[in-house]
């Protein structure tokens, strides 16, 4: 399993073992991390993914200025 930071300006991602508790917040920018696609709820299967591999949803968003 993987978590990624949804902040488009931040490259944080991390892999976890199946039963390991996931980190909740990015240690680099403080945003809540995501472990599934916000559109289709598929678990992230690629470390550092930018798009959902199941539905193509953009996972990393640039912060609103």
Please spell the DSSP secondary structure of 23-43, one letter per residue. Answer: P-B-TTT-PBPBSB-TTT-PB
Nearer to Zn ion, 12 or 18 (CB): 12
Give the one residue of 16, 25, 28, 45 binding Zn ion; rule: CB under 5 A: 28
**Structure-block tokens of residue 46:** 């690629």
Among 25, 40, 45, 50, the residue binding Zn ion under the rule CB under 5 A is: 40
Piece of the chain touching Zn ion by CB under 5 A; list 2-10, 15-23, 43-51: 2-10
User: Using the rule CB under 5 A, is 10 a contact of Zn ion?
Assistant: yes
Burial of 1: CB neighbours in 10 Å, binned 0-12, 13-18, 19+: middle
């Amino acid at each position: 399993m993987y978590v990624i930071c949804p902040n488009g300006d931040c490259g944080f991602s991390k892999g976890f073992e199946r039963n390991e508790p996931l980190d909740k917040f990015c240690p680099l920018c403080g945003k809540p991390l995501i472990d599934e696609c916000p559109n289709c709820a598929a678990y992230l299967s690629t470390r550092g993914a930018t798009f959902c591999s199941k539905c193509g949803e953009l996972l990393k968003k640039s912060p609103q200025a």
